[in-house]
Chain A
Amino acid sequence: MTDHTSQAELVRRSLKGRYRKERRFRAYGIVAIAIALAALVTLFTDIVGKGYTGFLKTTITLEVTMDPDLMYLDDPTDPKQVRMADFVAPLVAAVGRALPSATQDDQDALRRLINPYASSELRDALIENPEWMGTTRTMSFLAHSNVDVYVKHKGDAAYSIKLTDQQQAWVDDLRARELVETSFNDVFFTSGDSRDPAKAGVLGAIVGSLLTMIITLVLAFPIGVAAAIYLEEFAPRNKLTDFIEVNINNLAAVPSIIFGLLGLAIFINLFGMPRSVPVVGGLVLTLMTLPTIIISSRAAIKSVPPSVREAAEGIGASKMQVVLHHVLPLALPGMLTGSIIGMAQALGETAPLLLIGMVAFIVEVPEGLFDAATVLPVQVFLWAGSPELAFIERASAAIMVLLAFLMSMNALAIWLRKRLERRW
């Protein structure tokens, strides 16, 4: 009897400690989740904080006098001469007029307030409208990228070091008179890469990604679905089938960079395909995403109940007819969901594309599958490696564009699953 009470007593006395341990264990779990979520939040706020300014551009409004003498033109009516004329001088003169405090010695400093490409913009405008010659017009130009970051990050010392104190004062003056303004950065979405951050955009990379994804989708989806059908429905249980299955599972876990080595050695060296083109990128990403698509397609086929198959067989359908007419349509939503997730993975992939040369500096927006191109994640990589702060904010902005694409793909997959997938 005493034994019994002492045991109960023992348990009771230990309870407090045990409950404390219980609470502590639960707290560990909460802390772990908090760490993971904090990392997620930090990542997003960091990217958005660094990159939202990438969606803004700084323009400078000038009253430009297209004076033939200033442009070293003997004959302002000769288009050939106009093409070769000096367009920097009228721009610098216009900046000088806007800033009365500037002197003749400040030419260089003034020139560095406007974008180096502004002169070619002026030239194109004048070639299109020859009647402007000799007149004075109010025009807007992109500001120099140093001015751009200075205006957008007012007060942050790291962003003003490239401008002299005098230049900073000028920019502040122009800003106060609303001659220097920031607005939505349409250049970012309508141009390819550039050495000048103010002129650099993601359009080339987006088109490159799109072309690469088209190849990947066109190849990976049918091949993946066909392979899944074979393995689920037709494959005899033997050594060969087992070997294929083990292969697929292992390929799913092979580091992506290895696929880059494969692409370099087989597609480029052996088959002599060109470097840096979307076709080779698409082929490499196809091989990389195939295992994912096969695995998810098999799961989708497995989830079709046997009763459907038996009913079809019962009315005399051949095995192939059962699969193509009944199993495949029912499994298709699941297959699509898995494929979209696989495609999202491929869209974010960088490493293998570096090896097949899609890392080149390409200004033109690619027009075909065999044009040299780069893709969004590689563009992020290229800009992130630049020492210029203006490129860093564009890298962040490009990341946001990339994440927007990925999220809409995932949202589409979730929507498809909710909408089309049937539970049996």
Chain B
Amino acid sequence: MQPLNLLLLTMLLAAVAYVLGSARSRTLAMPLGGVRHLKSLPGYYGVRAAIWCGVPALVILGLWAAFEGKMIQSIVVGTLPDTMIPDTAGEASLLMSKIGNVANGSLPPGFVEEPVAKAAELLQVLQVQSKIYMTGLVLAVALLAGFVGWVRIRPLLNAREQVEAILRWFFFACAGVAVLTTVGIVFSVVFETIRFFEQVPFFEFFFGTSWSPQLALRTDQVGSEGAFGMIPLFTGTLLISFIAMLIAAPVGLLSAIYLSEYANKRVRSTVKPLLEMLAGIPTVVYGFFAALTVAPFISDLASAIGVEASSQSALAAGLVMGIMIIPFVSSLSDDVINAVPQTLRDGSLALGATQSETMKKVIFPAALPGIMGGLLLAVSRAIGETMIVVMAAGLAANLTANPLETVTTVTVQIVTLLVGDQEFDSAKTLAAFALGAMLFISTLLLNVIALKIVRKYREQYD
């Protein structure tokens, strides 16, 4: 049976267990003089029975489905003669897909070597057997555990407490998913990064000034060594982020100030949602706008005034990224400005300061730490932004500060290296993970600092 159908069937069984469980508790309560002689309400007995029936079976099902493929694969590869055991990950996946193709009938067995045909036969058998065993085991566990749970219903059993304890554990586990995600991120980048540094020296990566990850097809080819210096990528990222912040910081901040201090209610209630609309537009749309409208416009404009500009300039990507970040900056600064106590504002105005003087000399300094925190968050957003730069910035890793030239960024390189076929033992693929690790660490640092500043600042006025 397919895992999805089995999942539905198990849930159905659990529902049946619920009905039977609550019915049994009622039956048991009858001779005692009614439901009020039960320790818990009948529904709780039902839920308890359903948990007994469903949870262990679903856990088994999940584990089986997760590891089935890998197990079968290792058994199948184990039957191959030693000469055919693949050396590299690339060959292994090629061999496996060959075996798989023979097994599902899209490749006639006569076309391949005999051991492969045999392995394919074995694969087919194992796949069928695995499905049968899985179905049998899951259903047996569901029925058996459900039955035990049902039999053990007693009037004095405190089903409510048990159910609530299990629910509480479930809630805790759900909260733990966030931690698991972080752990998953760290693990997924750390191992590949370590493997990357086994192939590429540490210093070359951090201080090298040239980036060209193309690896040669043959090892003796001229220029077969790829260059993995991340300096041009980081300067490119910083250049584009800098341009973006040059737009977003003043525009976002000033519009937040205007909206919170000057605008009347009607203006605010129309302009604010419009600004938030900018935040809701998917980044791929900004990328489209940057690549097909802003970039040609800039290069036309530049050539009209006699300056040479690349068709994929850092300026175009930075400008559009700035527009994207405006609502982010403005809503964060808005929060911070509104958090400044009204007494400060009133005090300044009472001394005869104009509104702008109050803003510039009293509120802004008071809100400054919070605003800085918000700007740092915006910078981290800009560094991690992917689609705009993938579509509008180029691939050439130039070490330049000229915004009219093409630069590339960390995120662009991660996407370029990982889209398409990958070999998980080449420095090229591993480099993407190393870059990902750097990106994760730098944005994490920025976020931690920014969140600390913002929180500390909030406490100050609470």
- The residues of A with any CB-CB pair to B shorter than 8 Å are 11, 18-19, 21-22, 24-26, 28-33, 35-37, 39-40, 43, 46-47, 50, 222-224, 226-227, 229-231, 234-235, 243-244, 247-251, 253-262, 264-266, 269, 271-272, 287, 290-291, 294, 318-320, 344, 347-351, 354-355, 359, 369, 377-378, 380-381, 384-385, 392, 395-396, 399, 402-403, 406, 410
Contact = CB atoms under 8 A, between A and B. Distances in A.
Contacts of B352: 11
Interface string B257-278: 1110010000000010011011
A290 B181 contact: yes
Contact of A29 (B172, B191, B258, B387): B258
Given A33-B258, A250-B444, A403 B281 contact: yes
Contacts of A250: 182, 444, 447-448, 451
B254 interface: yes
25 contacts: A32-B252, A46-B289, A222-B174, A223-B174, A226-B171, A226-B175, A227-B174, A227-B175, A229-B171, A234-B172, A250-B182, A254-B185, A256-B386, A258-B185, A261-B188, A262-B185, A264-B188, A271-B69, A287-B177, A347-B282, A350-B386, A355-B415, A399-B284, A399-B288, A403-B285
Given A253-B380, A261-B414, A351-B386, A266 B175 contact: no
Nearest to A344: B280
A28 B185 CA distance: 43
Given A18-B357, A262-B184, A257 B411 contact: yes
B255 interface: yes
B255 A36 contact: yes
Nearest to B380: A253
A294 B67 CA distance: 30
Interface in B353-381: 354-357, 359-360, 377, 380-381
Contacts of B447: 249-250, 253-254
A235 B274 CA distance: 38
B361 to A, nearest CB: 12
Given A230-B175, A265-B433, 17 more contacts: A33-B258, A36-B255, A36-B330, A47-B285, A227-B175, A247-B178, A250-B448, A254-B447, A261-B185, A261-B414, A269-B424, A287-B177, A320-B167, A320-B168, A351-B390, A351-B415, A399-B284
A21 to B, nearest CB: 6
A21 B271 CA distance: 24
Given A272-B70, A402-B282, A392 B257 contact: no
Contact of A255 (B69, B258, B288, B443): B443
A48 to B, nearest CB: 12
Given A33-B259, A249-B451, A253-B447, A348 B284 contact: yes
B288 A380 contact: yes
B177 A227 contact: yes
By secondary structure, the B interface counts as helix
By secondary structure, the A interface counts as helix
Interface of B: 4, 66-67, 69-70, 73, 160, 164, 167-168, 170-172, 174-179, 181-182, 184-185, 187-189, 191-192, 250-255, 257-259, 262, 271, 274-275, 277-278, 280-289, 291-293, 323, 326-327, 330, 352, 354-357, 359-360, 377, 380-381, 383-387, 390-391, 411, 414-415, 418-419, 424, 432-433, 436, 439-440, 443-444, 447-448, 451
Contacts of B418: 260-261, 264, 354-355
Q: Considering residues A230, A287, A290, A381, which has the most beta carbons from chain B within 10 angstroms of its beta carbon?
A: A230
Nearest to A222: B174
A331 to B, nearest CB: 14
Contacts of B386: 255-257, 350-351
Given A226-B174, A250-B444, A257 B439 contact: yes
Contacts of B283: 348-351
A-B CB proximity, top 6 nearest: A255-B384, A29-B258, A348-B282, A265-B188, A230-B171, A32-B254
A399 B451 CA distance: 34
B164 to A, nearest CB: 4
Given A380-B285, A381-B284, A21 B184 contact: no
A174 B313 CA distance: 43
Nearest to A21: B356
Contacts of A385: 391
B121 to A, nearest CB: 21
A300 B432 CA distance: 39
Given A255-B411, A265-B433, A396-B288, A294 B178 contact: yes
A272 B178 contact: no
B54 to A, nearest CB: 15
Contacts of A381: 284, 287, 387, 390-391
Nearest to B278: A40
Contact of A235 (B67, B73, B175, B359): B175
Contacts of A351: 283, 386-387, 390, 411, 415
Given A18-B354, A257-B411, A266-B184, A243 B384 contact: no
Nearest to A25: B356
A290 B439 contact: no
A40 B262 CA distance: 22
B372 to A, nearest CB: 16
Contacts of B252: 32, 36
A381 B447 CA distance: 29
A381 B290 CA distance: 12
Contacts of B175: 226-227, 230-231, 235, 244, 294
Contact of A395 (B4, B274, B288, B356): B288
B285 A29 contact: no
A244 B176 contact: yes
A244 B181 CA distance: 11
A261 B262 contact: no
B292 A392 contact: yes
